Chains A and B, each alone.
Chain A
Amino acid sequence: MDNELTNPEIPVPDELQSAVTITSLDRIYNWGRRSSIWPMVFGLACCAIEMICTAASRFDIARFGMEVFRATPRQADLMIVSGTVTKKMAPLIVRLFNQMPEPKYVLAMGACASGGGPFKDGYNVVSGIDKFLPVDVYVPGCPPTPQALLHGLIKLQQKIDNQSIKAVRWYGQQTSEAVPLPVLGPDLLDPRQHALLAQQAGQPNETAEPGEA
């Protein structure tokens, strides 16, 4: 058995070492999950090319059990947001995230997905996917090299390792809430800012106090 799993505090007789392991439920549950994270086939921009290179033979994402890219969000565990999130695309990304089953993770790959990147000033650009979705790992770079993406994925595995089945939200009492879809109006409308929008939309920006929002 994989010695990553064995709890060294509880001895296993030598003759059973190859067949038996004693471990905690959390550890085997997390070990299983983190060794078969299925990402969604979801390329947004330039970073998607490096994501494909990471999956290709030279860098070989299969070493981490992540080579099973799924084209449907219903079968995916991980959304790698690989590229610039535009306003026109934002409602669709949020919808895809809502369609993924729990447990689900989001990795923001590259400068654009993390905070808008070089295109942050653009009128059709969302400054980072974390404006809408909970991000687990940020990978800097423009684009991040395949090595950087692999490092980010290893960080995600470490995060999974530290989760406990007792505390995770998807086994809790409440079902997880869907993220409200942004709407394309005269500009991108975020339903969570409904009150602020109703009150202040249409007023010029200059009068806003910095930091007010």
Chain B
Amino acid sequence: MAAQEIGAAPSEQTAVADPIVSRFEGALRPDERKGYEGYIVAAEGLPEVATGLRDELGYDYLSSVTGVDYLDGGQLEVVYHAYQTSGGPALNLKVQVDRENPVLPSLVSVYPGADFQEREIFDMYGVRFEGHPNLRRILMWDGFAGHPLRKDWREAYYEEENKPFDSRWPTGDVRRSEAANRFGKNVIYPAGFDFENWTPESDESLYASLNKVGSNGKTLQTDSLVVNMGPQHPSTHGVFRMVVALDGETITDLQPVMGYLHRSHEKIGERNTFLQNMPYTDRLDYLSSMGNNLGYALAVEKLMGVQVPERAEYLRVLMAELTRVSNHMWAIGFLLNDMGAFQTPALYAIRARELILDVFEATAGSRMMCNYMRFGGVARDLPETLRDENTLDFISDLAHNRLPAAIDELDRFLTGNEIVRARCIGVGVLPAEKAIAYSAAGPLLRASGVPYDLRRAEPYSIYDRLDFKVCTRSNGDVYDRYVIRIDEMRESVKICQQALRDMPAKGEIFSRKPQYNVRVPEGESYGRVENPKGELGYYVVSTGKTNPYRYHVRAPSFINLTVLGEMCKGHKVADAVVILGSIDIVLGEVDR
């Protein structure tokens, strides 16, 4: 089964491949490694190929940029996934570069959305992108020793390459990593580090990189100053920091600074077995764990070529859509918090979320960290009863009565509200072309008028059978991003109703023999889902073992932040808070 699936991919590819190979004669060649797709581009031809793909072939949306360290081949590979916003499969480009001196041309001038992702690759792999406007570390701090995702870089608590570690399996001994470290802490210093004569890096260069000159004609004498908002600030939705250059009260430049919740997700993910990563995905966007599970399951299932039973597909969609409702409730509640309506609207908004969490807790065993999907199905079926009611009746009541009522309530209180309108309309406008160029995703993209929803553009699971509409708005301001969330919740409720109606009453929920370790066939795969915050993608490379060789998360919150500075320029500080709230970020996913 698996072999067929992988065998089928290249033949599809060759049909599409011909015009691309002939158009860029000599600049690229098909990737012929087993289980791989796409094209390998020569480094010097990359900007030209990218421009051609964007302008002539319509690949206007750069979804993901990531690195892979092929230690044995002595090469680093940078992988680009580009899409057409009109829909369809990915175009997968790869560039290979020597590990010892990795220099590549930057694609920021072609796809501005590559900005933060290239910085991440620089941070994690040490690839220098020539022509990048602000190439500095993004997740770790300036001055950190080493590039952590390189395969030969070892963390302080390093035990072995891959789990399960001998210290814990099969005898189950207890090993405290602290005891093996000379400092008793999770730290490691490079050889020859001189502790006595050393000064920490300061933020001066960061502040110096900001544009401090306002463009507005001065009738009032104003000062220019730099303000740090966060990482401890009630409006930043966690530990996020914005460095804002102000002219008076007007923002002239804004730089997001992140990494304060960088939990080494990908390095840990590459040590883990494939299945062990499932609970870690819960903790990415911790408000929508079911959606995260689904994306990862799809990526690995693509490699394994397994089928998912009918009932499990419906359960997956049901859970993913309930997650969307609960996430948007939260987003709207806390957007109002950011506008200064402290806590009260949020309390109303998250009341209905508790009901959804009850469904998750009864089904998956946890309110937030569901760990529910498996490769080839889901972990558990719906329980018989929930809060002393029949579970299906409870969910059905939720989908038909209680959630629509809660959405109507929010709509009634907020949509026509004078203050909401005054604070939101015309603020943080993002035009459609810019949204596409900056790789914005999800409600942020659709509020700008781009009808791009993966559930329609590249349907996965059973979304092609369901009746729902892709909501769009045309102005691309904060108000539209609020209203589109109300619209999307309504569509999600509709999907839930259909899923409940069509779901087979009984049936398998898991297609394979349950096992702890799954061996995944060689190859790469990119699985993506329309998560509440936008396009969530997983890039997985397997070498045929039980551990992923590369595990990368294309986090929508992270990439949506690329355009934050652009949207805030010219507005007041208080508006920056609302604009950030309207993007709806979760730091677990921004920093990973």
Partners in one complex: yes
Q: Please report which residues of chain B, range 563-587, place their CB below 8 angstroms from some CB of chain A when the two chains form the complex.
A: 587
Q: Please report which residues of chain B, range 250-271, place their CB below 8 angstroms from some CB of chain A when the two chains form the complex.
A: 259-265, 267-268, 271
A156 to chain B, nearest CB (A): 22
The one of B238, B268, B286 in contact with A122, judged by C-beta atoms closer than 8 angstroms, is B268
Of the A-B pairs whose beta carbons lie under 8 Å apart in the complex, a sample of 10, sorted by A's number, is: A56-B351, A57-B351, A86-B260, A121-B155, A121-B264, A122-B155, A124-B264, A189-B187, A197-B195, A200-B183
Query: Are the C-beta atoms of A124 and B263 separated by less than 8 Å?
Result: yes
Q: Is A153 close to B, CB under 8 A? A: no
Residues of B contacting A193 in the complex (Cβ-Cβ under 8 angstroms)? 183
Query: Are the C-beta atoms of B347 and A57 separated by less than 8 Å?
Result: yes
Given the interface contacts A46-B588, A196-B183, A213-B182, does A118 sit within 8 Å of B189 by beta carbon?
A: no
A210 to B234: give the CA distance in the assembly, Å.
Answer: 42
Interface residues contributed by chain B, number (CB under 8 Å): 66
Given the interface contacts A187-B189, A196-B183, A198-B195, does A122 sit within 8 Å of B263 by beta carbon?
A: yes
Q: Interface residue tally of chain A, by bracket?
A: 35 or more
Which of chain B's residues has its CB closest to A44's CB?
B239
Interface code A45-81, partner B: CB below 8 Å = 1, 0 otherwise?
A: 1101110110011100000000000010000000000
Query: Are the C-beta atoms of A190 and B177 separated by less than 8 Å?
Result: no
Stretch from B20-28, B141-149, B374-382, B462-470 forming part of the interface with A: B141-149
Q: Is B207 close to A, CB under 8 A? A: no
A113 to chain B, nearest CB (A): 12
Stretch from A12-20, A88-96, A101-109, A164-172 forming part of the interface with B: A88-96
Q: Is A140 close to B, CB under 8 A? A: no
Query: Are the C-beta atoms of B354 and A49 separated by less than 8 Å?
Result: no
The one of A45, A119, A205 in contact with B156, judged by C-beta atoms closer than 8 angstroms, is A205
Q: Please report which residues of chain A, range 187-207, place their CB below 8 angstroms from some CB of chain B when the two chains form the complex.
A: 187-190, 193-194, 196-198, 200-205, 207
Query: Are the C-beta atoms of B186 and A116 separated by less than 8 Å?
Result: yes
Beyond A122-B186, A184-B141, A189-B187, list 11 extra A-B contacts (CB 8 Å).
Answer: A45-B587, A53-B354, A56-B347, A84-B263, A121-B157, A121-B268, A127-B186, A143-B369, A185-B143, A208-B182, A212-B182
Q: Is A33 close to B, CB under 8 A? A: no
B59 to chain A, nearest CB (A): 34
A84 to B239: give the CA distance in the assembly, Å.
Answer: 11
Residues of A contacting B238 in the complex (Cβ-Cβ under 8 angstroms)? 43-45, 48
Among A50, A86, A123, A211, chain B packs the most CB atoms within 10 A around the CB of A123
Query: Are the C-beta atoms of B263 and A86 separated by less than 8 Å?
Result: yes
A178 to chain B, nearest CB (A): 17
Which 9 A-B residue pairings sit nearest by Cβ, starting from the closest?
A122-B264, A213-B184, A208-B182, A186-B145, A46-B286, A123-B155, A119-B263, A201-B189, A202-B193
Instruction: Provide the main secondary structure of the chain B interface.
Output: loop
Query: Are the C-beta atoms of B179 and A210 separated by less than 8 Å?
Result: yes
A140 to chain B, nearest CB (A): 14
Residues of B contacting A56 in the complex (Cβ-Cβ under 8 angstroms)? 346-347, 350-351, 354
Q: Is B140 close to A, CB under 8 A? A: yes
B413 to chain A, nearest CB (A): 16
A193 to B346: give the CA distance in the assembly, Å.
Answer: 44
Q: Which of A's residues lie within 8 Å of B, judged by CB?
A: 41-46, 48-50, 52-53, 56-58, 71, 83-84, 86-89, 92, 96, 116, 118-127, 131, 142-143, 145, 183-190, 193-194, 196-198, 200-205, 207-208, 210-213
Among A46, A83, A200, A202, chain B packs the most CB atoms within 10 A around the CB of A46
B589 to chain A, nearest CB (A): 11
Q: Is B100 close to A, CB under 8 A? A: no
A43 to B421: give the CA distance in the assembly, Å.
Answer: 29
Among B156, B190, B259, chain A packs the most CB atoms within 10 A around the CB of B156
Query: Are the C-beta atoms of A88 and B262 separated by less than 8 Å?
Result: yes
Residues of B contacting A127 in the complex (Cβ-Cβ under 8 angstroms)? 177-178, 185-186
Query: Are the C-beta atoms of B156 and A187 separated by less than 8 Å?
Result: yes
Which of chain A's residues has its CB closest to B241's CB?
A92
The one of B139, B260, B368 in contact with A143, judged by C-beta atoms closer than 8 angstroms, is B368
A62 to chain B, nearest CB (A): 11
Residues of B contacting A203 in the complex (Cβ-Cβ under 8 angstroms)? 182, 191
Given the interface contacts A121-B264, A122-B267, A197-B195, does A49 sit within 8 Å of B180 by beta carbon?
A: no
A170 to chain B, nearest CB (A): 23
A126 to B183: give the CA distance in the assembly, Å.
Answer: 13
Residues of A contacting B140 in the complex (Cβ-Cβ under 8 angstroms)? 88, 124
Query: Are the C-beta atoms of A185 and B200 separated by less than 8 Å?
Result: yes
Residues of A contacting B283 in the complex (Cβ-Cβ under 8 angstroms)? 45-46, 118
Given the interface contacts A127-B178, A186-B189, A208-B182, does A49 sit within 8 Å of B263 by beta carbon?
A: no
Query: Are the C-beta atoms of B148 and A123 separated by less than 8 Å?
Result: yes
Residues of A contacting B234 in the complex (Cβ-Cβ under 8 angstroms)? 41, 71
Residues of B contacting A87 in the complex (Cβ-Cβ under 8 angstroms)? 186
Query: Are the C-beta atoms of B261 and A86 separated by less than 8 Å?
Result: yes
Which of chain B's residues has its CB closest to A71's CB?
B234
Interface code B341-370, partner A: CB below 8 Å = 1, 0 otherwise?
A: 000001100110010000000000001110
Q: Is B232 close to A, CB under 8 A? A: yes
Query: Are the C-beta atoms of B260 and A88 separated by less than 8 Å?
Result: yes
Query: Are the C-beta atoms of B261 and A44 separated by less than 8 Å?
Result: yes
Residues of B contacting A57 in the complex (Cβ-Cβ under 8 angstroms)? 347, 351
Residues of A contacting B351 in the complex (Cβ-Cβ under 8 angstroms)? 56-58
A142 to B279: give the CA distance in the assembly, Å.
Answer: 11
Q: Please report which residues of chain B, range 216-271, place their CB below 8 angstroms from some CB of chain A when the two chains form the complex.
A: 231-234, 238-239, 259-265, 267-268, 271
Q: Is B416 close to A, CB under 8 A? A: no
The one of A41, A120, A143, A184 in contact with B200, judged by C-beta atoms closer than 8 angstroms, is A184
Interface code B267-282, partner A: CB below 8 Å = 1, 0 otherwise?
A: 1100100000001100
A173 to B136: give the CA distance in the assembly, Å.
Answer: 48
